[in-house]
Structure 1
Amino acid sequence: MPVAERLTDDDLELLGELGVEIAPDQPSAHSAREQRIIAGFEEIERFVETHGRLPQHGEAHDIFERLYAVRLERLRASEECRHILMPRDSRGLLAGDAPPETALSDAALLAALGSEASAADDITRLVHVRSRTAIKAAEEIAQRSACKDFALFKPIFDNVQRQLATGERETVKYQDNALVEAGHMFILGGQKLIVAEMGELFIGDHGRPDRRLRVVYENATESDILLRSLQRALNKDKASRRITKADYGPLFSAIATEDDLPTGYIYVLRSNSADPFIVQNRAVIHKIGVTAGDVKSRIANARTDPTYLLAEVEIVATFKLANINRKKFETLLQQFFSSARLDLALQDRFGSAVKPREWFLVPLDVIEEVIERIKTNTIDQFQYDPTTANLLQT
């Protein structure tokens, strides 16, 4: 097979969309010694940019800040370091006095950190300095912080975990589809994540479009990683996966055809029990089920069946199903309303305790809305709030 002599613009664009880094790193003009000095200085610059001031000595300050303070003074005092760093010192950090006699040495600070500095340590062997490659990788991933509104996302992660277990969702290799959009979910580094928000489009490195994302992780942290950085991370992680949207199959047909195979009915029942709690809440207590046969035949012996609360029931709604796995659909409905399941124990005719599992504290109009959401394949964007008896958009 012939091999292209060079990448075309179309090739570059395609690779860029896949999040593949295509521009080779330029060889450094600095020696390893000089790179260590520059890396140490850049960490001090980041501290100043973050805190708006120079690092300071003193027990009241973080041990790393004190280490940066000592490092800056030693860089200022070294003519070799000043020669290397002056062209890149845009903030004028190298202007200052020699270190005071009371300043702690690197060795003393490292001792406080539980580390030991060898006698060979000098300014060119700055400690706690990451390589430029490591710094770039860390900046690509972006620093995570605590997700303050994680309570909004936890039900999503919990629901997705249940759907993965039941087969309503599955995971596929990320490389099969590089698309990243708001609401998409992935597994990266063994953790599930959701793309919660996407920022404004801008032109990034190599003239390619990029966005700043808000990504929330299942361990209650979040990051503002760049879109292309997330794509690169997903591509580099050989175990990364895309979590598919819930697939419920062809639940309903918009138009009936001769090929439709009737698979049953969704039915919604209301109990005529004389139990005080049921009487008080009769309008919002419903049984949701699916049957392959006639609903009226199904409830003929309700009075003697704990499944129907040992009382007569009335049919308040039915929905015809076609071309679907009715059991899977029933499971979906009952899992969606699991937070509102009726907690009631009854005794059957043999005196055994029975807890019916298909009765829920849900208004009829909400049940109808959920069925409609399933038809439009948007149910994964909602959750049921039993305290307000409403659907909430996630």
Structure 2
Amino acid sequence: MSKRDNTASTSVIEDALAALFDSDTDGLLDTPEKTAKVTSNDRLERAFLEIVEFRRRQGRAPSSTTREIAERKLGARLDGILANDEKHEALTHLDEFDLLSVPEPPASLDDLLDGDELDLLEDESGVLDVSTLPARKRPAEDFDAAKRKKATDFENFEHLFKAKHRELADGVAKLVPFPGQQHIVEGSFFILRGVMLFVAEVGEPEYKKSTVRENRRERLRVIFENGTESSMYRQSLGIRMGEKDGQAVVPTSFESVLAEDVQTGYVYVLRSLSDDPQITNIPNLYKIGFSRGPVEKRIARAEHEPTYLMAPVEIVASYRTYNLKTSTLEHLLHRVFAPSRLRVSQVGKEGRVYEPSEWFSVPLPVINQAIDLIGSGEIVNCSYDAASQRLVERN
């Protein structure tokens, strides 16, 4: 085919195509326009226009703290735009309500709160409400005044206060400056602002973690001689004793209690309240013993225990011991008064026969004299003459 024939053929095809396109009155053969690419700036503007539309409808800017989810999203979006200088500048031309204008900073906190016309500082969550929080206690306030309550079983402790006051009056006990928190133990007596108090119980240790360490504390049951009680912590009592020049009640026969002293137990003297004639007819009958814990707790069930002659007992005297081995002292005193030991058998509820070994028929003044010799250690050089009822120097 010649070049002229090719040209003629192409012309015919073009004419046919032109006629076809001209006949497409419905635009079926039109090429669709290419969709413009959405840029990040376009998305930013669309997002901001949603905020503008909210302002137009509601008459206020959206809040990021409201509980309405849709508004909160718009409010958070506005907060993000305000915090970004580039976004702020890119959207200025769309800001018909001055949503992006930055107000002058307030001169004071009062100006800030007074100028909060849109309630942007409104605390809907209540985080800033401190009205229900406990007020911090000032050191000058009377300690635990609001926490004290009437001791319903004060009759169980009243005689202890009377006995301790008698000991102070007779010179058997004395007052010393508060020796330290480590001496706040069960059975101890203190004077705080002229009022005597008794530490009846020390609770189990509690541990509270802080950012620095784990703090140990114990809650007490403290009985006051005015018939009230408190459940303060040991640390609280120690702090108040130190602040208010508190005093400890200690036996006169012992040396002053020092901070480094270690309590080892109690020396106690008991009188039997039995109504058994075989017991009541024995003159000057006392139980001399030692306890590692408070004597009051030790004798709580005396009427059920053969060692107390199956009867209630009365505490005649109780002394705390420091830096002394309790078992050794018990052996020494019992050896001194061995000639006047009570020889009796008691049958327990389970049918077992007991022979109490800590009851002695010895005048109380002689017992007090022996206890005085404990502090000096001279008790090892003494023995008891049952005939003359007095302590004599051992040969």
Shorter-chain TM-score category?
Answer: 0.3 to 0.5
TM-score (norm 1): 0.35
| Larger of the two Rg values belongs to structure | 2
Highest relative contact order (Cα 8 Å, sep 6+), 1 or 2? 1
